[in-house]
Structures are given as structure tokens and as C-alpha cells.
Amino acid sequence: MKLAQIKSWYLECSENHTKCTAYPNMVTQGSQLPSRLLDLQGDKIKLECNVKSLPHLQYTTLSHMWGPDPDTCLQLTQARLHDFESDIPSSLLPTKYLEAIRIAKALGFRYIWIDSLCIIQDSDEDWKKEALKMAAVYGRTSLNISYVYPPSDSASHNHLRDPRIIVPCE
């Protein structure tokens, strides 16, 4: 991916588009934050579980397809919760997560929300609680990174296109 292109799109929106800068602030008022985010600071990736205490929180989200076999995707479980708070080994993360993390860090973001790693997947209670917040989680994100092709697609689909060609950004 061309980070310079992504960065220029992000800066254009965040600095010059009134609608793009106003909406996250409107959603923030009275909306619920995710219970957990991935903290990308330093060399480790770890789960941040005290999100409400973070001042001036800005984060990215990843929108993606899990693929044909969700069980092969690394997931936050009750058994892994404590370990993930210390370190999520990058060697266990799929390429699509590592690429999203690389983009987030390159744009200066410290936090990213990825559903499989921020919602406890084997807890019905956590799923119900977090599912109710999902619109707010995506609504107040500073940037959503989206993969439109399933993970099994060939590398020939790894290209950038300017979405403004189809729908101009105002």
C-alpha cells in the first residue's frame, strides 16, 4: 500500500472537510466507547481495557471479512484476556491486521479497534454489550480501514483506488 496516498486522503478529510471533522465530535457526546482497544505504542501490541480513562481519545477501526473459517483468525477469549493485556505477539496476527496496524501507526494513531481482538469472542455477555455499541464505535472513529476483498483473495486485488472517483468527498 502507498502510505503517502493514504496519509494525503486522511489529512484532506481531517483538516479540510467540515462534515468529516464534526461528525466524530457529535457522536462522542453521550455515546459509548468500546470497552477495549489495541494499544500500538512502542514495540508491543497490547489490549487496553481502561478506555474510559484515556484523555482526548482518537482511534482507528478495521472493517474486514473474517474469511471462510473464523476459527483460524486470532481471537480474544476469556482465557487470553490477561495475556493480551501484556502482549499480543505480532507473529500470531494475520497480515491484514499487521497492515492495518502499520497504517494506523504511520498516521500517528496509538489505538485501533479490531472486533476479533477487542470483543471477548467466547463470552455471550461481552458480545451483547459490545454489539450495542458497535455503531458508536465505528461512528466516532477517526479513520476506518476497510478491506473489501476476503483474506483468501489473491494479491492482485491489493491496489488502491481513490474512492472520491465514484463518490466525491464534499
Specify burial of residue 69 (Cβ count, 10 A radius: 0-12, 13-18, 19+): exposed
Q: What is the pLDDT along the chain (170 residues), one digit of tens a residue?
A: 588 888 888 888 888 888 776 665 655 554 578 999 999 999 999 999 999 888 788 999 999 877 777 777 889 999 999 999 999 999 999 888 998 999 999 999 999 999 999 999 999 999 999 999 998 899 888 899 987 664 544 454 455 555 555 555 55
Q: How many helices (H) and strands (E) does the chain have?
A: 6, 5
Nearest to 97 by CA among 64, 57, 67: 64
Domain boundaries along the sequence of the chain? 3-142
SS3 75: coil
Specify burial of residue 141 (Cβ count, 10 A radius: 0-12, 13-18, 19+): buried
Pairing of strands 59-63, 111-113: parallel
